[in-house]
Amino acid sequence: MVMYRYNTSNGTSKGVFNIFQDKSGFIRLLMGNADTILTKKQISELGIDCYSIIDFSHDDFMTAYN
């Protein structure tokens, strides 16, 4: 988990986020109670090292993103 903090029009928002691979092979970003599937472009732009994700499966990743 990683801490995040950013400014909004209503003040500051803060919390933690986690990046994980779901059962179908997609990489997800979890912030609070919401999560989203990341695109390959987002993974690249954010500099995410998928191999550092616990239980990362390259085969599942390739199936999901190709």
The mean per-residue pLDDT over the stretch 44-55 comes to: 92
Per-residue pLDDT of 21-40, as tens digits, reads 999 999 999 987 889 999 99
Q: What does the alpha-carbon distance between residue 20 and residue 10 come to, in Å, rounded to a whole number?
A: 29
At residue 66 the predicted structure's pLDDT band, cuts being 50, 70 and 90, is very high
The kind and range of the H/E element at 65 are helix 58-65
Assess whether pLDDT exceeds 90 at residue 2. no
Q: What does the alpha-carbon distance between residue 66 and residue 57 come to, in Å, rounded to a whole number?
A: 14
The mean per-residue pLDDT over the stretch 2-20 comes to: 82
Quote the pLDDT of residue 38: 95
Quote the pLDDT of residue 7: 84
